[in-house]
A and B are shown apart, each in its own frame.
Chain A
Amino acid sequence: DQQVKQNSPSLSVQEGRISILNCDYTNSMFDYFLWYKKYPAEGPTFLISISSIKDKNEDGRFTVFLNKSAKHLSLHIVPSQPGDSAVYFCAASYGNKLVFGAGTILRVKS
Chain B
Amino acid sequence: DAGVTQSPTHLIKTRGQHVTLRCSPISGHKSVSWYQQVLGQGPQFIFQYYEKEERGRGNFPDRFSARQFPNYSSELNVNALLLGDSALYLCASSSTALNTEAFFGQGTRLTVV
Contact = CB atoms under 8 A, between A and B. Distances in A.
Interface residues of B, number: 28
Residue of A4, A43, A93 with most partner-chain B CB within 10 A: A43
A43 B104 contact: yes
Interface string B45-70: 10010100001101000000000000
A99 B41 contact: no
B84 interface: no
Given A34-B99, A43-B107, A95 B90 contact: no
Report, as a range, how many residues of chain A touch the other chain: 20 to 34
Contacts of B41: 102-103
A96 B56 contact: yes
Sort A-B residue pairs by CB-CB distance and give the 6 closest, nearest first: A100-B42, A96-B56, A43-B104, A97-B45, A93-B99, A96-B48
